[in-house]
Chains A and B, each alone.
Chain A
Amino acid sequence: MPIRVENLSYTYNAGQPMEQEALRNVTLTIEDGEFVGLIGHTGSGKSTLVQHFNGLLKPTSGKIYIDGVDIFSKGVSLRSIRQKVGMVFQYPEYQLFGETVFEDVAFGPKNMGVPDAELNDRVDQALALVGLDLSLKERSPFELSGGQKRKVAIAGVLAMQPQTLILDEPTAGLDPKGRDEVLSLVAHLHQREHKTIILVSHSMEDVARLAQRLVVMAHGEIVLEGTPEVVFRQAEYLEAIGLGVPQVTRLLQVLKKQGFAVDPDHYTIEAVEEEIVKLLETM
């Protein structure tokens, strides 16, 4: 179920004095089973862009195709699009409302028309996926800890069983343990559940570890695109637009500049460690 956007532009408050162009002529394709990291500074348009993927925002101009179908053409049910393309917003725990965790997680599938008999299974599966104990089902979501609330909210989207999952800064405001848990959940969804993942983030470390392809945005446009190696080679440009490269990559780049024989195209701690060990052995 590839997602393709063509010449997408979006202007907030179009035609008013407060008019603001958020996206300019964006063209992008996301293939089945891909893991795409969407990075950019605050206000670069990345959140605006992903809200088009499930029809929450209607482009000022341009088209969005899911499975080759223009989602804003007549007769397309946006609800079915939103079932296929799940979206986890920033701080998703702020959207919890159910009296019980069960009720909240079941909200999405219920709206999608899943029969009541099946709801229980859906909720159990989703909670198991995010690693929450099923005994929490009858608790109020408001009594849970911050990390648990976030997992309940993510489960609420997973319960709709979307084929594609968009996550907007899913680790924002979590402690290191919560962050690792959410990131390994995302990795699991991609590798084991074979979902297409679009991860919006401004943490280079997070996306570098997980994504197969990076898309860099600035000022409402896509400015860089490619594998992490290709994108992180542009360290100076990334810094100029308010981003950077993972610290470990930066270390290799500095070493290389000082004349050491290292290959700077590594961006995970493990790979960089290996590279440095190799370097030390030659010395």
Chain B
Amino acid sequence: MAMMKNITIGQYIPGESIVHQLDPRTKILATFLFIALLFLVETFTGYALGALMLFVIVLLSRIPVKFVLRGIRPLMFIIVLTLCLHFFMTEGRVILQIWFLKLTYEGLIRGLMMVSRLILLIIGSSLLTLTTSPILLTDGIESLLKPFRAVGVPAHELAMMMTIALRFIPTLVEETEKIMKAQMARGADFESGNIFHRAKSLIPILIPLFVSAFRRADELAVAMEARGYRGGEGRTRFRVLKFTRRDAAALILVAGLVILVGFCF
């Protein structure tokens, strides 16, 4: 469980800031615009401006900068790998040679660009989940996907699946702990032995966990039907999403900045 604490992507930090209060649809669309920007921009000035935009949003959201940056940590390996691949695999002017590895000028530039893009992408998308509760996020996704229902996108079903999955994460974590303890009481050991031994020792946890997950799914389906659930058709909502003037302003601002930065740099 200790590992889960370090992953900030997908984590939500409750707050009252102006960013928190925006409609989830605004934030989802703004995130998509920002991601588009990252793929339009080809210069360091552009990335710097993108970073500045993010920085301002982080300040507005009142989430500690340190916490936002922590989101990069689990992806450090991918970042370093990207950097190395670009540094040494790009053809061009050689500026440094270590044994058979040739660092080229073009590789240096490309590598740094790709990594800037990657880091901004991670921070930008984790900012969405950090300031939006999972429930609102799925409501927002459902509402945004609605127009695509005509072409067969099951908007409500997708959102319901996400909500249920998120709801059951803590339940399953608790269940796993219980089963682990029960098997440990019978002398099971999950910590020693080689990798095959350890993988095998997971069987007594995984089988009961799957059995109980299926049982829960079954019970949940019956409980939902008993309460008259029949899909999204005609369903009213307790939380009604409201797209306010503030949302419009925020969205126009982000779109304007994206167009400006995206096409000028």
State which residues 140-156 of A face B: CB under 8 Å: 142, 156
Interface string of B173-198 (1 = CB under 8 A from A): 00000110111111111000000000
Given the known inter-chain contacts A79-B189, A157-B186, please indicate yes or no for A56 contacting B181, CB distance below 8 A. Answer: yes
Please give, as numbers and ranges, the residues of chain A lying within 8 Å of B205 by CB-CB distance: 97
Complex interface: stretch among A60-68, A85-93, A186-194, A265-273 = A85-93
Counting residue pairs across A and B whose Cβ atoms lie within 8 Å, the total is: 56
Q: Measured between C-beta atoms, what is the minimum distance from A114 to chain B in Å?
A: 10
Task: Please give, as numbers and ranges, the residues of chain B lying within 8 Å of A87 by CB-CB distance.
Answer: 182, 185
Return the contact of B187 from the options A79, A89, A96, A142 (Cβ within 8 A): A79
Interface readout for B74-85 with A: 1 if CB under 8 Å, 0 if not? 000000000000
Does any Cβ of A come within 8 Å of B211's Cβ? yes
Question: Do A95 and B187 form a contact, CB below 8 Å, given A51-B181, A56-B181, A89-B182?
Answer: no
Asked if B150 lies at the interface with its beta carbon under 8 angstroms from chain A, I say: no
Interface pair B187/A108, CB less than 8 Å apart: yes
* Secondary structure dominating the interface of A: helix
Give the docked Cα–Cα distance between A86 and B182 (Å). 10
B95 within 8 A of A: no
Q: A94-B212, A107-B204, A142-B211 are in contact. Are A160 and B187 (CB under 8 A)?
A: yes
- Residues from chain A with a CB closer than 8 A to the CB of B207 are 97
Asked if A201 lies at the interface with its beta carbon under 8 angstroms from chain B, I say no
Whether B187 and A83, one on each chain, are in contact in the complex, defined by CB atoms closer than 8 angstroms, is yes
Q: How many chain-B residues does the 8 Å CB contact rule pick out?
A: 18
| Nearest 3 Cβ contacts at the A-B interface | A111-B187, A108-B186, A97-B207
- 9 additional contacts (CB under 8 A) given A56-B185, A89-B182, A95-B182: A51-B181, A82-B185, A92-B182, A97-B204, A97-B208, A107-B183, A107-B188, A111-B189, A156-B186
Selected A-B contacts with CB under 8 Å, 23 pairs: A54-B185, A56-B181, A56-B185, A79-B187, A79-B189, A82-B187, A89-B181, A94-B179, A94-B208, A95-B204, A95-B208, A96-B211, A97-B203, A97-B205, A97-B208, A107-B186, A107-B188, A108-B187, A111-B186, A112-B187, A142-B211, A157-B186, A160-B187
Task: Give me the interface of A with B, judged by CB distance under 8 Å.
Answer: 51, 54, 56, 79, 82-83, 86-87, 89, 92, 94-97, 107-108, 111-112, 142, 156-157, 160
